[in-house]
Amino acid sequence: MIIYVNILIEYKFMNAPKYVNPFRPGAGHMPPYLAGRDSEIKEFLKLLDQEIILSNLVLTGLRGVGKTVLLDTFKPMAFNKKWLWVGTDLSESASVSEEIIAQRLLADLSVVTAGIGVKRAAPSVGFATLQSFEEKTLNFQTLTEIYKSIPGLVSDKIKGVLQLAWTCVQAHGVKGIVFAYDEAQTMSDHSEKDQYPLSLLLDVFQSIQKKNIPFMLVLVGLPTLFPKLVEARTFAERMFDVVMLHKLKPEDCREAISKPIKSCQSSIVFDDNSITLICETSGGYPYFIQFICKETFDIWVQQMTVEGATKPIPVREITQKLDKDFFAGRWARATDRQRELLSIIATLENADGEFTVQEIVIAAKAMANPFGASQVNQMLSALSDSGLIYKNRHGKYAFAVPLLGSFILRQAAEITMPLFT
Give all strands (DSSP E) within 234-388, no chain letters: 240-244
Alpha-carbon span 90 to 188, nearest angstrom: 11
Longest dimension (CA), the chain: 85
Domain boundary assignment for the chain: 38-244, 249-329, 333-416
pLDDT tens-place string over residues 47-87: 999 999 999 999 999 989 999 999 999 999 999 999 999 99
Residue-level pLDDT at 367:
86
Which whole number is the average pLDDT over 20-40?
90
Q: pTM higher than 0.75, yes or no?
A: yes
Architecture of domain 38-244: 3-Layer(aba) Sandwich (3.40)
CB 289 within 8 A of CB 253: yes
CB 337 within 8 A of CB 379: yes
The answer to whether the Cα torsion of 220, 221, 223, 229 is positive or negative is negative
Architecture of domain 333-416: Orthogonal Bundle (1.10)
How far, in Å, are 66, 250, 265, 315 from residue 259 at the CA level?
Answer: 17, 14, 10, 21
Alpha-carbon span 366 to 347, nearest angstrom: 12
pLDDT tens-place string over residues 324-358: 999 999 899 899 999 999 999 999 999 988 999 99
Alpha-carbon span 103 to 88, nearest angstrom: 13
Other beta carbons within 10 angstroms of residue 78's beta carbon come to 22
Alpha-carbon span 421 to 414, nearest angstrom: 13
Alpha-carbon span 367 to 382, nearest angstrom: 21
**How does strand 83-89 pair with strand 56-60?**
unpaired
Residue-level pLDDT at 1:
38
How far, in Å, are 76, 86, 150 from residue 71 at the CA level?
Answer: 10, 12, 34
Alpha-carbon span 70 to 351, nearest angstrom: 27
How far, in Å, are 21, 239, 267 from residue 177 at the CA level?
Answer: 37, 17, 45
CB 331 within 8 A of CB 399: no
**Percent of the chain scoring above 70 in pLDDT:** 88
